Chains A and B, each alone.
Chain A
């Protein structure tokens, strides 16, 4: 159901009268106790307040981890997007080449030359990095993992298969990297073969390459989907953690009441004025909250 502010206001107005009445008749005996300034003031409470502070600190750390993880995965997603575009173009060229009949060997070779360019591009994409750290090298992030090769499978991979783990909540881990070799290998191989077959003018083989390219595309897309799903997971976790942080920070354990009490006391004056105006049935424009704090 929808709750609108106007409705809230109406309800609030009704309640205000009774609230004020209740405020006046509320038996409010305040016996001022001691501030929590020493453990002996309230040992159990002090221990708990230390725990709340630690929870807040831990929460902040998790939020930062999630930010950093999101950056990494976002960069990964961009790179995979580019790889997908490369493969799409390769696919188009493969389709053309498969129609061998109307093409001359030199036409085919032109296509082959372009596929070679695409192959080089793929090599560059495979070595994509974020702030100098390679996205697809496993844990060997300081070195370029891919080099285009003159022989099958069309690449050499010098990265490792390590997983980059991040802790985003107590004992909750996320692997933020996408395995380089498994993801890119089909693409390299497919394009390598496509180029060679195009250069050889072998239209039949090119038809076979087309399905290889499709599979390579499939691999890239599914890697992207996985990254997307992880990013969603992190976003949800981030939202929850942020809410938790705000709630934890809502606890007022520091004593900043001197300013606050003063600010609030100015409102008490307004309370009287407002009461009067209500009773008078007037709808005077209420000054803003800030006016009393300036």
Chain B
């Protein structure tokens, strides 16, 4: 049987369209070579359903006649497993980076060993008490004044550091709140993308660029909290944080809420939904900041508080057993209970004669209590329990611990960064646009297009002949 020339025309046209699509997709790839998150698109050119040749129930001639080709599916080159892996590792990297950041801020505050940190202030403090022990009498007022001044330098520095530790925590809290806001905005964005994607894909097309954007949004979310996603039949996705559903297809999102906790300096707890349970954040960026805020920095606050309290208690105990210039028992030398509140007794600040250097009332040349206070530099007991570390030992340990912790998190962060870099490159090599490859594809489609066009013009000629060259009798 013969095939209608119109049939061939149709086939050629389809071929043309198919190749045109190929060219379009290639151009799209090239244009998006540098777009972040863009997944290279492939055209799958499939053969159309072959016709069975006409006939009663059965083709009369052997074989089937092909009907040409159409651009089938435009797929994104994407590996879901790789995406999941990337998101987990990027989240861990954010976590480590945030913790490292906070610790480095703590280091800056302490300013050791090159700066004028507490270490050198303690040295100066003991130096002036030594001066007093060499000249404890009432007449040595300049020496006593120096003791007050230097002690005050020490305590105000301790106050300042305590305050700055608090500032770091406050800063971290503000960043957490900002991050939570960002996460909620991202959830909303996913919802909107879901809606649009579903609409487009109802028409049978693939919303590839929008899917790319949705993936990029998921990437960003995973740097804040640990998320997983599942795709629904309609093309929308659900985004879960642990078992908590942040985005439910095209239906709804649930925001995370930062709730100030009065029991924790007013710092925010994160709940899932207003009035909901604690959010299961996983171990990503926000969790890293929370760890720094509530565990890492407080550890150093506590160390400093202990150092301050021990100094206050030990010094005051010794001082109380002493006598000042007027023969009166020593008042507390330090006031306060912790690093934020430690200070020199204002009465003593006003009148250095009240420093009780002597252990005997009215004994002007007696310096025994001053000697006792100096001895605290090498041993805190008595008056504190045996084994209590000296200020210097405790402080040096704190500095060493800080150094060690910071170093560890720094290494952690850079190892994670390297891993993420590796995964990024793998994603890139899979989904990324290779301009060479695209150029080759372009050539291929163009050739095929030209071929199809020639076929079309052949048919066109035949038709032309048929239509215009035949049956022209009587024209």
**Partner-contacting stretch, out of B165-173, B184-192, B244-252, B399-407:** B399-407
Q: Which residues of B contact A139 (CB under 8 A)?
A: 358, 360, 363-366
Q: Which residue of A lies closest to B117 (CB)?
A: A50
Q: How many residues of A sit at the interface, in one of the four size bands?
A: 35 or more
Contact B112 A50 (CB under 8 A): yes
| Residues A162 and B363 in contact in the complex (CB < 8 Å), given A43-B407, A46-B112, A167-B133 | yes
Cβ of B113 within 8 Å of any chain A Cβ, yes or no, is yes
Q: Which residue of A lies closest to B395 (CB)?
A: A50
Q: How many residues of B sit at the interface, in one of the four size bands?
A: 35 or more
Q: Which residue of A lies closest to B139 (CB)?
A: A132
Contact A165 B367 (CB under 8 A): yes
Contact A167 B365 (CB under 8 A): no
Contact A64 B112 (CB under 8 A): no
Cβ of A7 within 8 Å of any chain B Cβ, yes or no, is no
Contact B400 A64 (CB under 8 A): no
**Partner-contacting stretch, out of B336-344, B371-379, B417-425:** B371-379
Q: Which residue of A lies closest to B111 (CB)?
A: A38
* Complex interface bits, B385-428 against A, C-beta within 8 A gives 1, otherwise 0: 00000001001110111111011001000000000000000000
Docked Cα-Cα span, A53 to B392, in Å, equals 11
Contact A46 B113 (CB under 8 A): yes
Docked Cα-Cα span, A167 to B129, in Å, equals 12
Docked Cα-Cα span, A133 to B367, in Å, equals 14
Cβ of A120 within 8 Å of any chain B Cβ, yes or no, is no
* Complex interface bits, A144-179 against B, C-beta within 8 A gives 1, otherwise 0: 000000000000000010101111001101000100
Contact A142 B139 (CB under 8 A): yes
Q: Binding site of B, secondary structure by majority: helix, strand, loop or mixed?
A: helix
Contact B371 A37 (CB under 8 A): no
Docked Cα-Cα span, A40 to B402, in Å, equals 7
Q: Which residues of A contact B49 (CB under 8 A)?
A: none
Cβ of B4 within 8 Å of any chain A Cβ, yes or no, is no
Contact A137 B365 (CB under 8 A): yes
Q: Which residues of A contact B123 (CB under 8 A)?
A: 53-54, 57-58
Docked Cα-Cα span, A132 to B404, in Å, equals 54
Contact A140 B404 (CB under 8 A): no
Docked Cα-Cα span, A64 to B127, in Å, equals 10
Contact B110 A61 (CB under 8 A): no
Contact A46 B368 (CB under 8 A): no
Contact A49 B365 (CB under 8 A): no
Q: Which residues of A contact B374 (CB under 8 A)?
A: 167
Docked Cα-Cα span, A54 to B133, in Å, equals 19
Contact A58 B400 (CB under 8 A): no
* Complex interface bits, A17-59 against B, C-beta within 8 A gives 1, otherwise 0: 0000000000000000000111111111011011101100110
| Residues A39 and B371 in contact in the complex (CB < 8 Å), given A68-B134, A138-B365 | no
Cβ of B440 within 8 Å of any chain A Cβ, yes or no, is no
Q: Which residues of B contact A132 (CB under 8 A)?
A: 139
Cβ of A60 within 8 Å of any chain B Cβ, yes or no, is yes
Cβ of B137 within 8 Å of any chain A Cβ, yes or no, is yes
Contact B130 A61 (CB under 8 A): yes
Q: Which residues of B contact A60 (CB under 8 A)?
A: 127
Q: Which residue of B lies closest to A142 (CB)?
A: B364
Docked Cα-Cα span, A270 to B421, in Å, equals 51
User: B378 contacts which of A38, A165, A170 (Cβ < 8 Å)?
Assistant: A170
Docked Cα-Cα span, A53 to B396, in Å, equals 12
Docked Cα-Cα span, A50 to B374, in Å, equals 19
Cβ of B57 within 8 Å of any chain A Cβ, yes or no, is no
Q: Which residues of A contact B400 (CB under 8 A)?
A: 39, 43-44, 46-47
Docked Cα-Cα span, A64 to B404, in Å, equals 37
Docked Cα-Cα span, A164 to B357, in Å, equals 12
Q: Which residues of A contact B124 (CB under 8 A)?
A: 57
Docked Cα-Cα span, A167 to B134, in Å, equals 9
| Residues A58 and B126 in contact in the complex (CB < 8 Å), given A39-B112, A46-B403 | yes
Docked Cα-Cα span, A41 to B404, in Å, equals 9
Docked Cα-Cα span, A160 to B399, in Å, equals 47
Cβ of B209 within 8 Å of any chain A Cβ, yes or no, is no
Q: Which residues of B contact A69 (CB under 8 A)?
A: 134
Cβ of A113 within 8 Å of any chain B Cβ, yes or no, is no
Contact B119 A54 (CB under 8 A): yes
Chain B residues numbered 323-372 whose CB sits less than 8 Å from any CB in chain A: 358, 360, 362-368, 371
Contact B130 A64 (CB under 8 A): yes
Contact B371 A165 (CB under 8 A): yes
Cβ of B215 within 8 Å of any chain A Cβ, yes or no, is no
Cβ of A141 within 8 Å of any chain B Cβ, yes or no, is yes
Contact A61 B127 (CB under 8 A): yes
Cβ of B468 within 8 Å of any chain A Cβ, yes or no, is no
* Complex interface bits, B110-150 against A, C-beta within 8 A gives 1, otherwise 0: 10111000011011101100110111011100000000000
Contact B126 A61 (CB under 8 A): yes
Cβ of A245 within 8 Å of any chain B Cβ, yes or no, is no
Q: Which residue of B lies closest to A72 (CB)?
A: B134
User: B137 contacts which of A37, A39, A141 (Cβ < 8 Å)?
Assistant: A141
Cβ of B107 within 8 Å of any chain A Cβ, yes or no, is yes
Can you list 6 A-B contacts (CB < 8 A)? A39-B107, A40-B410, A50-B396, A54-B123, A57-B120, A139-B360
Rank and list the top 9 A-B pairs by shortest CB-CB distance, nearest first: A39-B403, A43-B403, A57-B123, A141-B365, A40-B406, A139-B365, A61-B130, A47-B400, A139-B363
Interface residues in chain A, defined as those with a beta carbon under 8 Å from any beta carbon in chain B: 36-44, 46-47, 49-51, 53-54, 57-58, 60-61, 64-65, 68-69, 132-133, 137-142, 160, 162, 164-167, 170-171, 173, 177, 253-254
Other than the given A40-B107, A58-B377, 18 more pairs (CB < 8 A) read A38-B104, A38-B406, A40-B407, A42-B403, A43-B399, A43-B404, A46-B399, A47-B400, A49-B113, A50-B392, A54-B123, A57-B126, A61-B126, A68-B134, A140-B364, A162-B365, A167-B374, A170-B378
